[in-house]
Amino acid sequence: MSIEPTPSLASQWIAAFNAHDVAQIVSFYHEDAELNDAGMKHPRRGKKAIEAWFTQRFSTMPTITYTPGEYVVVTDQRAVVTWTTYGRSPVPGRRRWLNWLSRSFQVDGVSVFMIEDGLIRSQRGYYDHLAVIQQILPPLRWLLPVRF
């Protein structure tokens, strides 16, 4: 196992994500790859489902970006990267006159890329989804307080 400052597949994926380049993102996955993260009700399996997910994500959240943190583990089979994502919440019905309802958010997370033959076989993203919801729906901070 080697630890590298800039693993190419993960860094290329982040660059494509920040450019909202769905075609480029999808090109990094195996045909039957699986994508899953804390904000999904169910995993996306296969390039078509992954493409639909990112198309919808960028359409509803056009300001979302990742700032990579540390690359924790990088091998030929795995890349683990910490990140911070920033953006604004979707506007209900994507109606411009409701833009005042959009709220900014920021959350730290980690992505685990399982790599096979130079392509992503599976990807899992972990972050505090409740923290995002509390940022974009402020009343939830009082209804669902975080307790330690």
Question: Does residue 108 lie within any of the structural domains?
Answer: yes
Q: What is the pLDDT of residues 4-50, one digit of tens each?
A: 444 479 889 999 999 999 999 999 999 999 999 988 899 999 999 99
The CATH number of the domain where 34 resides is what?
Answer: 3.10.450.50
Element (H, E) at 60: helix 47-60
Question: Does residue 144 lie within any of the structural domains?
Answer: no
Question: Does residue 147 lie within any of the structural domains?
Answer: no
Question: Does residue 146 lie within any of the structural domains?
Answer: no
**Cα distance between residue 108 and residue 83, in whole Å:** 6
Q: Kindly report the average pLDDT of the chain as a whole number.
A: 82
Count of structural domains, the chain: 1
Question: Does residue 145 lie within any of the structural domains?
Answer: no
> Side chain identity at 42, as an amino acid letter?
H
Which domain, by its residues, includes 51? 8-139
Query: Mean pLDDT over residues 120-142, rounded?
Result: 77
pLDDT value of residue 104: 77
Question: Does residue 2 lie within any of the structural domains?
Answer: no
In the chain, which ranges are E strands?
29-37, 44-45, 65-74, 78-88, 104-116, 119-127
